[in-house]
Structure 1
Amino acid sequence: MAKLLGLLLIIASVLVVTAQDCTVDLQGLIRECKQYVMFPANPKITPSDACCSVVHKVDGPCICSKVTKEIEKVVCMDKVVYVADYCKNPLKPGSVCGSYHVPSLG
């Protein structure tokens, strides 16, 4: 439990920096979407309308430029791509999000 809390604090601190540079409703993103993007990689769960409402406003390329290896240890990037796509704010295929390469669809 302490390890999970520590990882969440790392994510929160990195995302605070992200929020300063990118247009992000940080509290809304964490509150509404964390359960859809955290490991384990499966199953992928359809995000809620509330999550999509927040995701739809996010500047994906800007947020991706702030993703660190620490974040990638707890956030499943496959799920991030899935949620972004489902919420109609997809990450561009071939782009890079942290060290993750967004796959081509199809």
Structure 2
Amino acid sequence: MARQQLLGLFLVLAIMVAVVWGDPSGGCDQDRQDMIRECKKYEGWPAEPKIEPSKACCAVWQRANIPCLCAGVTKEKEKVWCMEKVVYVAKFCKKPFQPGYQCGSYTVPSSLGQ
């Protein structure tokens, strides 16, 4: 009986940890979906013209887990997302990347010139 109680307590603790800290991949997946829905038209190829993003896109930027999103950027995704435009949108939305920041294989230049 004590073993079952201990197992039950462990299960309750595991659920509490998941609720409090959340599932990092799940949160990132939602951020990714939101970014695609709200920002793709501002961050896709070609590199020009750069268009000011919508308020909805900026709202996604403000709440998104950018390190998590950047960790998932592959060479294939860089064929869809123009990283130069991603940096532009981040800056416009007042959540700029720091120079030298690595997002996928793209390194944010020290002189953005934007």
Same fold (TM over 0.5): yes
Whole-angstrom distance in 2 between the partners of 1:90 and 1:25: 17
Letter in 2 for 1:67: V
In structure 1, the gaps of 5 or more residues are: 1-17
How many equivalent residue pairs? 89
Displacement of 1:29:
1.6
What is the deviation of 1:42?
A: 0.3
Which structure: larger Rg?
A: 2
> Which has the higher relative contact order, 1 or 2, with Cα contacts under 8 A spaced 6 or more apart?
1
| Structure 1 residue 93 corresponds to structure 2 residue 99 | yes
Contact 2:61 / 2:95 at 8 angstroms: preserved in 1?
Answer: yes
Structure 2, gaps ≥5 residues long: 1-23
Cα deviation, 1:75-95, whole Å, max 9, x if unaligned, reads 100000000111111122101
- Give the % identical residues: 56
RMSD: 2.0
Cα–Cα, structure 1 residues 24 and 91, in superposed 2: closer, same or farther, change >3 Å? farther
